[in-house]
Amino acid sequence: MKSNTKRKRLLVDSVADRVEQLLVQMTMSEKIGQLSQLQGGSGVDQDILKEAIAAGQVSSLLNEVDLDTVNELQRVAVEKSRLGIPLLIARDVIHGFETVFPIPLGQAASFNPEVVKSGARVAALEAASKGINWTFAPMIDVSRDPRWGRIAESLGEDPYLTSVLGNAMIDGFQGDDLADAGSIAACAKHFAGYGASEAGIDYNTTNIPENELRNVHLRPFKAASEAGVATFMSSFGDLNGVPATASKFLHTQVLRDEWHYDGFVVSDWESISQLSIHGLTANDKESAYEAAAAGIDMEMTSTTYRDHLPDLIEDGLINESEIDGKVRAVLALKIKLGLFENPYTDSKDYEQISNPEYMQEAKSAALESLVLLKNENQSLPLSVSDKKSLAIIGPMADAPYEQLGTWIFDGEQKISQTPLQAIEHLITDDVDIHYLKAMDTTRSRDDGSISQAVELGKKSDVIILFLGEESILSGEAHSRADIDLPGNQVELIKAMSKLGKPVIAVILAGRPLTLSNIVDDVDALLYAWHPGTMGGPAIAEVLFGLESPSGKTPVTFPKVVGQIPIYYGKKNTGKPATDESCVHIDEIDAKAEQTSFGMTAFHLDAGYKPLFEFGYGLSYSEFNYSDLHVNTNSLTIGNSLRASVKLSNIGSCRATEIVQLYVRDLVGNVTRPVKELKGFKRITLDAGESTVVSFDIHTDDLAFYNREMKLVTEAGDFHLWIGGSSATELRTEFSVTKP
C-alpha cells in the first residue's frame, strides 16, 4: 500500500508541477485561449480555425470526428502554437459511437452497472480510435417527467440508481487511467436540476427548493464527483431565478467548497451568451463576468470569454488568480490524458469498430434492457418452430435508424439489426411471416393501413405489433405534451384486438408512454425503449424464449399524462390516498356533496397509482420472496445491518430477478419519501432453485439533508422492504439509535 501511495503522490506532484511549469510561461491571452471550446466539423472554415489554434486561442474542439482532420488540427496545436498545448477533442458519445447501445433510460432498466460500464467502454474505444478524448456523458439529471424529451438520455427517476449507473458509465469511459489508449474523459451533466424543467418542456425554468435539490437532484453529481469524473457541464436552465450557468451556489459553494471537486466545468452550448437572453445580464461582457465568477471554467462555442475576459481583468472585476485556477484544471486534464506525450491517434492501435465482440456487448445490453410489462394467456414466449403464421405489423418492426434512439450522430444504421430481420433469421421454415409496415411513420393518420393490417391479421395465427416513437420524438428539444402512442397506432391496436388472435405489442420509444388506452387490448406488452444496434436480435430472442426478459422500469409509467409528476419516492402528505379513499369519477353518486368522499391525495379520474410502478418487470418464470429479516432491529449510528430474504424461482424456467431493497425513515427533520431505493441485485435462478439474498445497509446510507442543509442520519424508526418492485409489501422494521 505504501509504495502505491508514494507512486500516486508522485503522479499528483508531477501533474501539478507540470501545470505550474506551463502556467508560468503563458500570456494572459494564451490562458484565456485554454478556456475556449470551438465547434469543429465540416461546416467550419478550417483556415480560420487553424489560425486560432496556432495563436493559442483554442483549447478544445467539439464535433470533429474525422481522424485525419483531428490529427491535422492537433499537429497545428502542438507544432504551431507557442507552447504546443494539445487540444481536447469532444463529442457527445452518449450511448455508443458507431455500435449503438440502448438509450441510457433503456440501459437503466437493466439495473446492471456492469452492462452500463461495458457499454461505455466500447463507446470509449470506438470514439478514441477517431481521436476523441472527451465525451459529454453521463447525463445524470434525475428525470421524473416523461413529457421531457431528454428523459431518454437519463438514467431514470431515482437518485440512487442514477448514482450507481452514472458512476459505472464514468468508469467505462475513463478506465483505470485516463492516459490509457481508449480512455476518454467523462462529463457529469447537466449541473443541475435540468430534469425538473417545468411542464417537461426542454430548456424551461426549474424551481427546486434547496432541500429537494440536495436530497434528490444533486446526489448523482456528488457521487460522480467522488468517483473522479473528469469534468462537469452546467445546465441551460434557470434554476430558482439564477440560470445554472451563472450559479455560484452550484459551481463554487457546492462543487468546490463543499465537495472539493478538482476537475473543470464546461458550459453548455452557448449557455454563457444565453445569460442575457434569460435576462440575468444585459450583454456578453456581463455574461462572461457572471459565468466566470460563478465557476464556469471553459466556454462551449460562444466567445464571451475570449472577447471580454481581458477587459474584465483590466477592470479588476475578475482577477488573474481566478483565471489561473481555471487554466490549471484544464491543463491538468490534458496532462492526465497523456496528450502531451501522445497527441496523435493511430486507428491501428484500436480494435476494428463494430467488431463481433462489441456487437455482442450491445446485444447483451439490449437483452437486459427489455421490460416485460404484461404477459397473459401464456402469449409469450412464442416457439421458433410452431407451425403458425405470424403477422408482423408496425412502423418500428424494420426501422434500423429509428431503433437507435436519440444522440446517435455517429451511429451506423447499416449495421443496425431490426426485429423483422432477426425474427426472419431466427424462425424455422415452418413458420410463415406476413409483414406490413402499416403506416409511414408512427405519427401517420392513414386509416387505410388499418384495414390492410386487419386482413393480414385474419390470415395469421399470432399478431406481433412493433409500435412506439421514432428517434426524433425524444431527445433534446423534443418534448411532448401528450405521451400516448402517436398517430393512429391506438386505433391499429384496437382493430387487431378484435380479431380474436393473440396480440403482442412491442413498444420502441424514448420515454414511458401512457398506455392505459391499449393495455387491455393486448395479451403481451414488451417495452424495448430504443434498443440500439442489436435491438432486433435481443427482441427476437426474448419473443421466442431463447432468453427470459429481466428488465425493470427505471421510471414510473403514468396512466395518463395528467398524473405527471408521479414517482415512487414521493412524500406521504398529510392525507395519503388509499384504495378505499379513492372514488372514480364515473362512480360519483349524482347527489354527492363536497365532503361525501375522497378528502385524500388522488385524482378523481386517475386515482393515485401509476399504470406501472418504478422497478416493475415480469419474466417468463415466477419469483417468490420470503423470510425477510435483519440481523439487528436496533442499529447504532456508525454501524451497518444486514437484511436478507429468501428468493425462490417457483416458475418453469431459468430466469433473472432484480431484487430491490427500499427503506423509509418514518420521522425526519424534513419529511422523507415513502420509499427510497438503497440496494439492488440481479439474481439468476433455475426453476425450483432458491437462494438467500443479502444487503448491508450502513447508517450513512440513510443520511439526508435536513432543514439546516446538513447531511445527517437521525435516530428513529425505519421500515425496510425487499421485493421485485417499488410496490413490494414484504416489510420489516429497524430503529437507528444514537451512539
**Residues with active-site annotation:** 268
Considering the complex, state which of residue 89 and residue 702 has its C-beta at the smaller distance from ligand GLC: 89
Q: Which residues of 201-237 are buried (b: 16+ CB within 10 A; e: fewer)?
A: bbbbbbebeebbbbbbbbbbbbbbbebebbbbbbbbb
Rounded least distance, CB 269 to ligand GLC, Å: 4
Considering the complex, state which of residue 31 and residue 189 has its C-beta at the smaller distance from ligand GLC: 189
Rounded least distance, CB 405 to ligand GLC, Å: 15
| Dihedral sign computed on CA atoms, order 616, 622, 623, 626 | positive
Q: Residue 325: in which H helix or E strand, if any?
A: helix 320-336
Which backbone phi and psi does 52 adopt, to 5 degrees? -65, -40
Residues 6+ apart with CB under 8 A from 690: 646, 647, 648, 649
Rounded least distance, CB 155 to ligand GLC, Å: 14
Rounded least distance, CB 135 to ligand GLC, Å: 9
Amino acid identity of residue 526, one-letter, is: L
Rounded least distance, CB 130 to ligand GLC, Å: 16
Rounded least distance, CB 313 to ligand GLC, Å: 28
Amino acid identity of residue 261, one-letter, is: Y
Report the SS3 class of residue 734: strand
91 close to 127: Cβ distance less than 8 angstroms: yes
Considering the complex, state which of residue 268 and residue 547 has its C-beta at the smaller distance from ligand GLC: 268
Considering the complex, state which of residue 136 and residue 191 has its C-beta at the smaller distance from ligand GLC: 136
Separation between Cα atoms, residue 548 and residue 381, nearest integer Å: 8
Q: Residue 355: in which H helix or E strand, if any?
A: none
Considering the complex, state which of residue 101 and residue 269 has its C-beta at the smaller distance from ligand GLC: 269
Say how far residue 456 (Cα) sits from the centre of its chain: 38
Residues 6+ apart with CB under 8 A from 657: 550, 619, 623, 647, 649, 682, 683, 684, 685, 724
| Dihedral sign computed on CA atoms, order 102, 103, 109, 114 | positive
Rounded least distance, CB 107 to ligand GLC, Å: 17
Considering the complex, state which of residue 40 and residue 146 has its C-beta at the smaller distance from ligand GLC: 40
Task: Name the DSSP letter for residue 459.
Answer: T
467 close to 507: Cβ distance less than 8 angstroms: yes
Considering the complex, state which of residue 285 and residue 511 has its C-beta at the smaller distance from ligand GLC: 511
Rounded least distance, CB 431 to ligand GLC, Å: 44
Considering the complex, state which of residue 131 and residue 724 has its C-beta at the smaller distance from ligand GLC: 131
251 close to 220: Cβ distance less than 8 angstroms: no
Rounded least distance, CB 272 to ligand GLC, Å: 13
Considering the complex, state which of residue 221 and residue 269 has its C-beta at the smaller distance from ligand GLC: 269
Spell out where 141-280 has E strands: 187-191, 231-234, 238-239, 242-243, 264-266
Residue with the closest Cβ to ligand GLC? 136
Q: Which residues bind ligand GLC (CB under 6 A)?
A: 92, 136, 189, 268-269, 476
Q: How many CB atoms lie within 10 A of CB 735?
A: 14
DSSP string computed for 257-314? IIT---SEEE--TTTTTTHHHHTS-SSHHHHHHHHHHHT--BEES--HHHHHHHHHHH
Separation between Cα atoms, residue 370 and residue 106, nearest integer Å: 7
Say how far residue 292 (Cα) sits from the centre of its chain: 28
Separation between Cα atoms, residue 245 and residue 268, nearest integer Å: 8
